[in-house]
Amino acid sequence: MWFGVLAWLIALFLISQLGSQTTWVDGQPLSRQPALSSIVSLYGMAFFGLCWLAFNWRAQPGWWRSNPFREVAAWVASLEYIGWFMCYVWLVPVTGYLFTTLAFCMLLAARCGYRSKRSQLAAAFIALCIVLLFKTFLAVKLPAAQIYEWLPAGLRNFMIIYF
């Protein structure tokens, strides 16, 4: 409930800022207005957030007397995964997309409690599928890894293009 109240208050604050942060162009059709998506999303967030609060207010009487720090602690604990992602983004240009994705999938699986050999092999297989899908088949452009500079020329070009 505390998070819902906070999200609803943030939505109200952002709605109050619409006039100074977005523009409405005279003569443009509604679908081409720069502020349209912001207006729709913020009013939707406020309306549906208020509905959610109203339904849960009845379902959880006396919620305001509860300790909000337990819920805040759960949200703060999830910030760890932002750190994992930032490390991943920082390491891809250094160690390469293939190696970094393999390592992080296996490390995150272990972090989440999947430590058996079968689980680790599944994480490695999923990582390999992700790399093949994005880098090889979809040809997503990623920075070349610094570690690839140590490879022989033919292998280096192959790794840069496909992995």
Report the pLDDT value the prediction gives residue 80, as an integer from 0 to 100. Answer: 93
**Is the pLDDT assigned to residue 4 strictly greater than 70?**
yes
Residue pair 8/46 in contact by the 8 Å Cβ criterion = yes
Residue pair 95/142 in contact by the 8 Å Cβ criterion = no
Report the pLDDT value the prediction gives residue 101, as an integer from 0 to 100. Answer: 95
- First CA to last CA distance, the chain: 45
Report the pLDDT value the prediction gives residue 118, as an integer from 0 to 100. Answer: 97
Boundaries of every domain in the chain: 2-77, 80-162
Amino acid identity of 106?
Answer: M
Cβ within 8 Å of residue 39, ≥6 positions away: 18, 22
pLDDT tens track for 99-145: 999 999 999 999 999 999 999 999 999 999 999 999 888 888 888 88
Higher pLDDT among residues 159 and 90, named by residue: 90
CA 63 to chain centroid, in Å, comes to: 29
Separation of alpha carbons 19 and 33, rounded Å: 14
Handedness of CA 134, 137, 138, 144 (dihedral sign): positive
Residue pair 97/142 in contact by the 8 Å Cβ criterion = yes
Residue 109's SS3 state is helix
- Mean pLDDT, rounded, of the chain: 88
pLDDT tens track for 20-75: 888 888 888 888 888 889 999 999 999 999 998 888 877 777 766 777 787 778 88
